[in-house]
Amino acid sequence: MPRVHLLATGGTIASRRTDAGLAATTPAAELLASAGPPPDLDVTVSDVSTVASFALSTADLGALVRELRRCLTDDVAGVVVTHGTDTMEESAYLADLLHDDPRPVVFTGAQRPFDSPAPDGPGNLAAALRVAASPAARDLGVLLCFDGLVFAARGVRKVDTLRSAAFDAPGRGPLLRVTDAAVLPLARPARRDAVPLDLAAELPRVDVVPCYLGADDALLRAAVAAGARGVVLEAFGAGNVPPAIAEAVAGLVADGVPVLVCSRVASGPVAPLYAGGGASLARAGARFAADLSPWQGRLLLGAALAHDPDDPYRVLDAQLGT
């Protein structure tokens, strides 16, 4: 009988109503009982925390990734992580950057709390447990299972604040579909090599700077002054920025501060197309992050700086295929 380990971290799936608002208080054993343990699986459980994911720090994320890697013992077919939806796409992506095991790690959660009259968490958890034990999930890396669909960690985004179909991978789509009868394969993208990191050390600070009509370089310069070792631009469209930011980027890159360009648009890649915009950023030495969200781009740049502070571009280029 396959064995899957359930690692609980809090989030809405573990939350109950209190006078102060929803609070994550439900441990892994209760979550498993609510899902109804699959009869053909042996499920072990542990709790790493019971918090809302919006309260997690990068140090907390490093500790979580260390723990889920520890849970991948020789007798386990896969690991399921219950997690809050607010930052699930970030935690799953960092775990995926480091994942060098053919066995799946599957993140899941809920949009409605544990004590809701119609909770979605039990169904999501039951599906995730099946995915973690499924041969169809092997060699796909870290996954996110929600509302019957399974997405690769890379490129997944939360796309709705409240409805049960909370996640999508714009421009990519799901890798697996979970039905009552089976886990059905839909796609199998190529995997990148894992990034070896010392998880005991916190990632270098990387800040995300948004672009908006009329923006100047004040936030960009403030980020670096506050200690950011790298910057991610949440750019317009296909990777364009206001002139003041384009000019400032040239100076930052010349001073050794790497800049990664992502888009504030949910779907589609960035590319250095426009004079005075993306083309100017490329000439200045900024890197373009394909279709990664700014939040996943931030973790990629942080991992690249942690792995090779003197040449983070080697990791960036390897992960982005440039």
- Where helices occur in the chain by DSSP H, the ranges are 28-35, 58-71, 88-98, 121-133, 218-225, 243-254, 278-284, 294-307, 313-320
pLDDT at 196: 93
Taking each continuous run of H as one helix and of E as one strand, the counts in the chain are 9, 16
CATH of 3-185, one of 3.20.20.70, 3.40.50.1170, 3.40.50.300, 3.10.180.10: 3.40.50.1170
Tens of pLDDT along the chain (322 residues) come to 899 999 999 999 999 999 999 999 999 999 999 999 788 999 999 999 888 899 899 999 999 999 999 999 999 999 999 999 999 999 999 999 999 999 999 999 999 999 999 999 999 999 999 999 999 999 999 999 999 999 999 999 999 999 999 999 999 999 999 999 899 999 999 999 999 998 888 899 999 999 999 999 999 999 999 999 999 999 999 999 999 999 999 999 999 999 999 999 999 999 999 999 999 999 999 999 999 999 999 999 999 999 999 999 999 999 998 6
pLDDT at 52: 86
The CATH code for residues 206-320 is 3.40.50.40
Chain centroid to CA 65 = 12
Region of residue 111 (phi > 0: left; psi between -120 and 50: alpha; otherwise: beta): alpha
pLDDT at 39: 86
Q: How buried is 101 (Cβ within 10 angstroms: 0-12 exposed, 13-18 middle, 19+ buried)?
A: middle
Fold: same for 3-185 and 206-320: yes
List the domain boundaries for the chain.
3-185, 206-320
Q: Are 89 and 156 in contact (CB under 8 A)?
A: yes
Q: Catalytic residue at 179? A: no
Region of residue 235 (phi > 0: left; psi between -120 and 50: alpha; otherwise: beta): beta
Task: Identify the active-site residue in 12, 82, 87, 108.
Answer: 12
Give the number of other Cβ atoms within 10 Å of residue 194's Cβ: 13
DSSP letters for 103-169: S-EEEE--SS-TTSSS-SHHHHHHHHHHHHH-GGGTTS-EEEEETTEEEESTT-EE--SSSS--EE-
